[in-house]
Chains A and B, each alone.
Chain A
Amino acid sequence: MNASVNWVGYCTIVRKEVSRIVRIWGQTVVPPAITMSLYFIIFGNLIGSRIGDMGGFDYMQFIVPGLVMMSVITNSYGNMVSSFFGAKYSHHIEELLISPLPNWIILAGYVTGALVRGMLVGGVVLAVSLFFSPIEIQHPWVTFSVLVLTAIVFAMAGMVNAIFAEKFDDIAIIPTFVLTPLTYLGGVFYSISLLPDFWRTVSQFNPILYMINGFRYGMLGVSDVPLSLTYVIIGAFGVGLFALCMYLLKTGKGMRS
Chain B
Amino acid sequence: MHALDVQQLRKTYGNGVEALKGVSMTVEEGDFFALLGPNGAGKSTLIGIVSSLVNATAGDVKVFGTSVMRERSRAMSYLGLVPQEINFNMFEKPLDIVVNQAGYYGIPRKQALERAEFYLRELQLWDKHDKPSRGLSGGMKRRLMIARAMVNEPRLLILDEPTAGVDIEIRRSMWELIRRINERGTTVILTTHYLEEAEELCRNIAIIDRGEIRENTTMKSLLSKLDVETFVLDLREPLKEAPRCQNMDISLRDENTLEVTLPRSKSVNALFASLDQSGINVLSMRNKANRLEELFLRLVEQGDDAPEGRS
Which A residues are closer than 8 A to B by beta carbons? 1-2, 4-9, 11-13, 15-16, 19, 23, 87, 90-92, 94-102, 251-252, 255-257
Contacts and interface: CB of A to CB of B under 8 A. Distances in A.
Interface stretch (B78-86, B205-213, B299-307): B78-86
A23 B13 contact: no
B90 A257 contact: no
B247 interface: no
A97 B77 contact: no
Contacts of B51: 98
Contact of A100 (B74, B91, B148): B74
Contacts of B90: 90
Contacts of A100: 72-74, 76-77, 104-106
Contacts of A15: 100, 103
Nearest to B89: A92
Contacts of A91: 83, 85, 87
B212 to A, nearest CB: 19
Contacts of B108: 8
A111 B87 CA distance: 22
A256 B52 contact: yes
Contacts of A23: 91
B282 interface: no
State which size class the interface on B falls in.
Answer: 20 to 34
Given A9-B106, A91-B87, 20 more contacts: A1-B77, A7-B106, A8-B103, A9-B105, A11-B103, A13-B104, A16-B100, A87-B89, A90-B89, A94-B53, A95-B101, A95-B148, A98-B51, A98-B79, A98-B81, A100-B104, A252-B55, A256-B54, A256-B55, A257-B53
Contacts of A1: 73-74, 77, 106
A19 B103 contact: no
B55 A257 contact: yes
Contact of B106 (A5, A97, A98, A257): A5
Interface of B: 13, 45, 48, 51-55, 72-74, 76-77, 79, 81, 83, 85, 87-91, 96, 100-101, 103-109, 148
5 contacts: A4-B106, A8-B103, A92-B88, A94-B53, A100-B105
B104 A95 contact: yes
Given A100-B74, A100-B77, A257-B13, A94 B103 contact: no
B81 A12 contact: no
Contacts of B83: 91, 94
Given A19-B96, A256-B55, A90 B87 contact: yes
Contacts of B54: 256-257
Given A9-B106, A95-B100, A101-B73, A256 B53 contact: yes
Contacts of B72: 100
| 7 cross-chain pairs, A with B, having the tightest CB-CB distances, nearest first | A12-B103, A5-B106, A99-B104, A91-B87, A100-B77, A100-B73, A257-B54
Contacts of A99: 76, 101, 104-105
A5 B105 contact: yes
Nearest to B149: A98
B137 to A, nearest CB: 18
Contact of A96 (B45, B85, B104): B104
B87 A8 contact: no
Contacts of A98: 51-53, 76, 79, 81
A18 to B, nearest CB: 12
Contacts of A95: 87-88, 100-101, 104, 148
Contacts of B45: 257
A51 to B, nearest CB: 45
